[in-house]
C-alpha cells in the first residue's frame, strides 16, 4: 500500500463509494449531452444543409481564416506590448528609488484592478475625442490587453527576480558588479527560466481575452463566427459556434501544452536556482478568485 501526505488512502468502502459517484456523474453528463443533442435536433441544427457552408473552401478563405488572422494579429501585438510593459514596470517596482518604485506600483495595481472589458470600452470611446475620427477597434483592444496583462506580467517579473536566492546577488556584488550588471548578468537570466511558465500561461489568458474585441466590433474569429457567418448563411449560428469553439480550444490547448512543457523543463533545468513562478491565475483559482 502506498500512502500520501495529502490525503488518506481510501479503503474498500470509500473506493466503492467513489466508483458509484463516478458512474452517477458520467450518467449525469451523458443525460445533459443527450438533452442538448435532442434539443438541437428538434430545431434542425444537425441538418446537413446548415453545415454545408463549412465544407466549402470559400467559407474558410473568406470568413474563418481572416477572422483567425485578426485574432492572432491582436494576440501577437498584445503579447509583445504586454511583455515589454511587464518587463519595464516589473523592474521599476524593484528600483531602489522611491520616485520610480511607487509610481510604477500605482500603475500596475490600478490597471490590474480595472476590468479588462471596461478598459477596452473606455479606450475605444476615448480615442476619437483624443485623436479624431477613425477606426480604433484594434488599437483599443491591443491597448487594453497590454495594460491589463502587462500589469499581471509585471508582477510575474517582480516575483521571478525575487525568487532568485539572495546569495546570488550578494556574490555578484562581492566581485565588484554594479546593480545594473547584477540584474543583467546574474538575476535576469535565472529569473527568466523561473518565470517562463507563468508568462506563457498569461499569454494563454491574453489570447482568450482577444474575444472581448467582439464587443467593439473588432473583426476577429468570434466576430466572424457569431455575427458575419450567420448573417451570410442563415441558420448557421450553432454550427459556426461549434466550429469557432473548436478552433479556440485548439489554440488554447497548443499554448497550454507549451506552458506545461516549459514548466517541466524549468524544474529540470540546472541553469537557475530559482523556483518556478506560479501563474497568478492558478493562485486566484485556488482561493476562489476569478
- For residue 178, what are the CA distances in angstroms to 164, 169, 272? 17, 10, 21
Instruction: Quickly state the pLDDT bin for 281 (edges 50, 70, 90).
Output: low
Residue in the structure block whose three cell numbers are 473588432: 218
Calculate mean pLDDT across residues 5-27.
82
Q: Rounded distance, CA 220 to CA 138, Å?
A: 10
Domain spans, the chain? 68-286
- For residue 195, what are the CA distances in angstroms to 31, 202, 280, 282? 42, 11, 11, 14
Contact 152, 93 (CB under 8 A): no
Calculate mean pLDDT across residues 74-90.
93
Contact 148, 111 (CB under 8 A): yes
Predicted confidence at residue 285, as pLDDT, reads 41
Instruction: Quickly state the pLDDT bin for 1 (edges 50, 70, 90).
Output: very low
Question: Closest by alpha carbon to 207, among 253, 265, 156?
Answer: 253
Calculate mean pLDDT across residues 150-177.
80
What pTM was computed for the model? Answer: 0.76
Residue 286 has pLDDT above 50, yes or no: no
Predicted confidence at residue 267, as pLDDT, reads 63
Calculate mean pLDDT across residues 172-198.
75
Q: Rounded distance, CA 160 to CA 169, Å?
A: 14
Q: Rounded distance, CA 122 to CA 165, Å?
A: 41
More confident residue, 44 or 136: 136
Instruction: Quickly state the pLDDT bin for 287 (edges 50, 70, 90).
Output: very low
CATH architecture group of domain 68-286 = Orthogonal Bundle (1.10)
More confident residue, 272 or 63: 63
Predicted confidence at residue 177, as pLDDT, reads 72
Q: Indicate the average pLDDT of the chain.
A: 81
Predicted confidence at residue 271, as pLDDT, reads 56
Residue 170 has pLDDT above 70, yes or no: no
Predicted confidence at residue 268, as pLDDT, reads 65
Instruction: Quickly state the pLDDT bin for 138 (edges 50, 70, 90).
Output: very high
Those residues whose C-beta lies under 8 Å from the C-beta of residue 79, and which sit 6 or more positions away, are: 203, 206
Predicted confidence at residue 161, as pLDDT, reads 82
* Residues above pLDDT 70, as percent of the chain: 86
Q: What is the pLDDT of residues 20-38, one digit of tens each?
A: 999 999 999 999 999 988 8
Those residues whose C-beta lies under 8 Å from the C-beta of residue 93, and which sit 6 or more positions away, are: 101, 104, 105, 108, 154, 158
| 130-139, 152-161, 267-276: least confidently modelled range | 267-276
Instruction: Quickly state the pLDDT bin for 223 (edges 50, 70, 90).
Output: confident
Calculate mean pLDDT across residues 250-270.
74
Predicted confidence at residue 284, as pLDDT, reads 46
Predicted confidence at residue 276, as pLDDT, reads 56
Amino acid at each position: 500500500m502506498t500512502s500520501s501526505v495529502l490525503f488518506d488512502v481510501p479503503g474498500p468502502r470509500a473506493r466503492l463509494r467513489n466508483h458509484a459517484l463516478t458512474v452517477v456523474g458520467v450518467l449525469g453528463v451523458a443525460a445533459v449531452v443527450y438533452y442538448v443533442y435532442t434539443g438541437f435536433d428538434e430545431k434542425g441544427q444537425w441538418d446537413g444543409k446548415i453545415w454545408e457552408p463549412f465544407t466549402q473552401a470559400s467559407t474558410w478563405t473568406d470568413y474563418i481564416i481572416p477572422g483567425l488572422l485578426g485574432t492572432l494579429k491582436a494576440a501577437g501585438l498584445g503579447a509583445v506590448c504586454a511583455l515589454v510593459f511587464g518587463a519595464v514596470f516589473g523592474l521599476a517596482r524593484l528600483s531602489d528609488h522611491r520616485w520610480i518604485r511607487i509610481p510604477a506600483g500605482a500603475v500596475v495595481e490600478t490597471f490590474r484592478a480595472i476590468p479588462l472589458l471596461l478598459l477596452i470600452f473606455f479606450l475605444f470611446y476615448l480615442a476619437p475625442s483624443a485623436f479624431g475620427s477613425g477606426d480604433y477597434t484594434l488599437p483599443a483592444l491591443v491597448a487594453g490587453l497590454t495594460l491589463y496583462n502587462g500589469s499581471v506580467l509585471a508582477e510575474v517579473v517582480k516575483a521571478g527576480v525575487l525568487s532568485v536566492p539572495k546569495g546570488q546577488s550578494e556574490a555578484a556584488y562581492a566581485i565588484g558588479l554594479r546593480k545594473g550588471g547584477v540584474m543583467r548578468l546574474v538575476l535576469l537570466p535565472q529569473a527568466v527560466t523561473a518565470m517562463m511558465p507563468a508568462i506563457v500561461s498569461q499569454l494563454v489568458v491574453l489570447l482568450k481575452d482577444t474575444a472581448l474585441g467582439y464587443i467593439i466590433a473588432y473583426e476577429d474569429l468570434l466576430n466572424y463566427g457569431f455575427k458575419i457567418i450567420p448573417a451570410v448563411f442563415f441558420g448557421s449560428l450553432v454550427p459556426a459556434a461549434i466550429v469557432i469553439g473548436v478552433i479556440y480550444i485548439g489554440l488554447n490547448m497548443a499554448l497550454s501544452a507549451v506552458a506545461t512543457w516549459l514548466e517541466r523543463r524549468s524544474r529540470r533545468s540546472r541553469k537557475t536556482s530559482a523556483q518556478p513562478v506560479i501563474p497568478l491565475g492558478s493562485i486566484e483559482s485556488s482561493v476562489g478568485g476569478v
